[in-house]
Amino acid sequence: MSLLEVKDLTTSIVTRRGTVHAVQGVSFGVERGSSVCVVGESGSGKSVMARSIIRLLPREARIVSGSVVFDGTDLRTLPEKRLEDLRGMRIGMLFQDPMSCLNPVLTIGTQITETIRRHLRVPRAEAYKRAVELLGEVRIDNAERRMADYPHQYSGGMRQRVMLAIALSCDPDLLIADEPTTALDVTVQARILDLLEDLRQARGLALLLITHDMRIVERVADQVLVMYAGQIVESGKRKDVLGSPQHPYTEALLGAVPDIDDSGARTSRLTAIPGSPPDLTATLAGCRFAPRCGYARLDDGCASAEVELRAVGAGHLVRSCHPAIAREAKG
């Protein structure tokens, strides 16, 4: 049994413009110690899906249906108090913007130790010692001295490491990382990703990482979920999804990744994805990517045919109404 098993998860958000069907019928699993990357453009439903798992949603949002089972416990039916304990103890969360998550008027040491004391209920001195060890583990130099600093005295990359230390403070089984490197330059991104991988290997940690960057997926993922317009359109092992993409959207995302040679020069032309994602307040039929798809034959059913996930290989699923079109066009 998977550590995390999500089945038919559907989440909606009520807005003035109407109800946004942000996540629709999403199903996947995360094995113990594995790394699962969820990739897609902004607005594809990745973050809402991740927050639905631990029920950290805005007041306007609600989970309409589906189940989220973590180590045999359905998180959807868990009382809020027990869920709060589980979030800190066994499920860690790493958010995109550390500056908005850290309290600017409390020292770094205070913010780490209060998390440890809240969940582990240990004496202050023991929590302090554990916090210093965590800062060292996430590669903050002079960890004990930096405990007395405030968030504004840390760089963006260092603040993200502090958030990682807080997320790992109670030795969770699962870490959910929502775009953890978006606001960082490429050098710092690489350091954070290396750190995540080292910690995952050392702790046997399962990782669910949300990103829009296919280069991160290639570097980190064991399994890949490609989301578009609130749905999973392709999923499978990294080598299958990236090496042999079966959905035109996956192919388009890979085409938008620049190829760089050793000198830093771009070696291929970037292919932009035309158009914009659909309005998720509307009732959508057929393949949701059809209006932007270079292979679409709208008069042949792309815009109206019912589209279901189907197996195209061992553990490789694709939601494509006419997969033969892509193969024909390539041939």
Full DSSP string of 46-57: HHHHHHHHTT--
Give tens-digit pLDDT for 37-86. Answer: 999 998 899 999 999 999 999 999 999 999 999 999 999 999 999 998 89
Distance CA 203, CA 234 (A): 29
Q: Taking 80 as the threshold, does the pLDDT of residue 118 lie above it?
A: yes
pLDDT band (50, 70, 90) for residue 299 = low
Q: How many CB atoms lie within 10 A of CB 327?
A: 11
- Highest mean pLDDT out of 205-209, 263-267, 290-294: 205-209
Largest separation between any pair of C-alpha atoms in the chain: 70
Q: How many CB atoms lie within 10 A of CB 237?
A: 16
- Is the Cβ–Cβ distance between 14 and 5 less than 8 Å? no
Q: Taking 50 as the threshold, does the pLDDT of residue 329 lie above it?
A: no
Q: What is the pLDDT of residue 320?
A: 73
Q: What is the pLDDT of residue 327?
A: 47
Pick the range with the lowest mean pLDDT from 102-106, 175-179, 277-281, 305-309: 305-309
- Is the Cβ–Cβ distance between 54 and 80 less than 8 Å? no
Burial 63-92 (b: 16+ CB within 10 A, else e): beebebbbeeeebbebeeeebeebbbbbbb
Q: Taking 60 as the threshold, does the pLDDT of residue 262 lie above it?
A: no
Alpha helices for 213-321 (secondary structure H):
214-220, 238-243, 248-255
Q: What is the pLDDT of residue 203?
A: 86
Q: What is the pLDDT of residue 302?
A: 75
In this prediction, what percent of the chain has a pLDDT beyond 70? 91
Sequence-distant (6+) residues with CB within 8 A of 166 are 92, 111, 112, 115
pLDDT band (50, 70, 90) for residue 328 = very low
Distance CA 307, CA 321 (A): 5
What is the mean predicted confidence (pLDDT) over 110-116?
A: 93
Q: Taking 60 as the threshold, does the pLDDT of residue 242 lie above it?
A: yes
What is the mean predicted confidence (pLDDT) over 194-205?
A: 87
pLDDT band (50, 70, 90) for residue 301 = low
Q: What is the pLDDT of residue 145?
A: 95
Distance CA 298, CA 312 (A): 23
Distance CA 148, CA 134 (A): 15
pTM over cut 0.85? yes
Distance CA 287, CA 308 (A): 9
Kindly state the tokens that stand for 228: 């578009």
